Structure 1
Amino acid sequence: MKLTVTTFVSIDGVAQGPGGPEEDLSGGFEHGGWVVPLFDDDTGAFIEEVFGRGDAFLLGRKTYDIFAASWPNATDPDDIVADRLNTLPKFVASTTLTDPKWGPTTVLDGDIVSAVAELKSRPGRELQVHGSLELVRTLHEHDLVDEHNLLTFPVVVGQGRRLFAERGLDTRMSLVESRSTSTGVIIAVYRREGRAEFGTMEVE
């Protein structure tokens, strides 16, 4: 399976607490819910496209808990996001989750890098990561992410954790697809292409 990551980010790179004021208060974060005023029908349509390609989900513990508290209550048969989340296999990276109530769920409590590599070797379309910021950083550092679906919202949040660590693995990406929405969200799909290249700008 191809491993894809879908992330909401602000113009200043913040990926923390996009969905609500109480979603992630770690580090004193006070600006949660910054995507809500800008999440339009076009953005929703893209998210449905993404979920329609998924065959399994890989989540961090915090994102899993957030999802498990709400998505099981969504029972509309026409809601593709709810249908996929509630029925497809979910794998959770956690050393503390022992009895997940939201199935079908498998807890990955050992070497996450080896476990994810094994999952990727299985047949299927996409193993999808949503949210799960710390997990995404780990996956990126070990070259396990094949594609990033990056949704950049036109807002400067001003505080919070960024998608990528301040120091990390240099990576070259190619742009697979891009579009914009009615509220100015820039949707871009990037494919990993190996190590980044560097050079010097010269004046003719």
Structure 2
Amino acid sequence: MRNIFQSVLISLDGVVADPGPWAMPYFTEESGKDALAQLERSDAMLMGRTTYADLAARWRNDSGPFAQRMAAIPKYVFSSTLREPLWSSTTIVRGDPVAEVARLKDDGDGDLTTYGYGRLARTLLEAGLVDEMMLSIHPVVLGGSAPRLESPPLGLTLSGVVPRTSGVVVASYRVGRVGA
């Protein structure tokens, strides 16, 4: 059975929306190596349409090792509106994401990875399909009304902490249910 890893960029005040402008200044060679290592452990990526379009725009024409892995890794994109793949190795899934991800999780033994914290990520958490959350906590406070991390009640067990020289702290948690 596969594990699902959810990688989320988050500010100190819980903002998860549109991380590019506030997270990229903290992206270092160190964090790039960690991101590539996670992708190399993964058999596939799970994405909603918005995350997929953002990642395709950023990485599909790049030539570095991370971009090469992003191009090669199978990508399952859950969307009712995306008509054609924007990127190589893409399967567009129009059906129930919970049923399809449960099937993918049972079908193999490598990791599945999601990036971001959009509708698909929340749906997978609510369905109890996510095994581990990796929160890259950025040393910024954004304020305002940007979307914050929201989730069903979860019982989280700390499985690792990696402080980076940039000030980002990556906290990994095994996911359970409250009272479980």
Moved more, 87-96 or 46-55: 46-55
Aligned counterparts of 1:184 and 1:68: Cα–Cα separation in 2: 27
What SS is found at the alignment partner of 1:114?
A: helix
Cα displacement (A) at 1:117: 0.5
Residue number in structure 1 paired with 2:61: 73
- TM (norm. structure 1) is 0.82
Question: Is 1:142 paired with 2:90?
Answer: no
Match of 1:13 in 2: 14
1:44-75 alpha-carbon deviations (Å, 9 max, x no partner): 23212211211101011001111222322112
In structure 2, the CA distance between the partners of 1:101 and 1:193, relative to structure 1 (3 Å rule), is closer
Give 1:112-127 correspondences, 5 Å limit.
Answer: 112-127=97-112
Distance in 2 (CA, whole Å) between partners of 1:9 and 1:187 is 10
Query: 2:69 — aligned with what?
Result: 84
| Partner residue in 2 for 1:30 | none
Identity of aligned residues (%): 37
Matched residue count:
178
RMSD: 1.5
Q: CA contact under 8 A between 1:137 and 1:163: conserved in structure 2?
A: no
Q: How does 1:1-204 map to 2 (within 5 A)?
A: 1-19=2-20, 33-76=21-64, 79=65, 81-159=66-144, 160-164=146-150, 168-196=151-179
Task: Give the counterpart letter for 1:59 in structure 2.
Answer: M
> What is the CA deviation profile of residues 60-110 of structure 1, one whole-angstrom value per residue up to 9, with x for unaligned ones?
10011112223221123xx1x212210121100100112113121111111
CA contact (8 A) 1:63 1:132 kept: no
Q: Runs of 5+ in structure 2 lacking a partner?
A: none
TM-score, structure 2 length as denominator? 0.92
What is the distance in 2 between the residues matched to 1:158 and 1:178? 25
Instruction: From the two aligned structures, give the one with the greater helix fraction.
Output: 2
- Give the structure 2 partner of residue 29 of structure 1: none
Which has the larger strand fraction?
Answer: 2
Letter in 1 for 2:173: Y
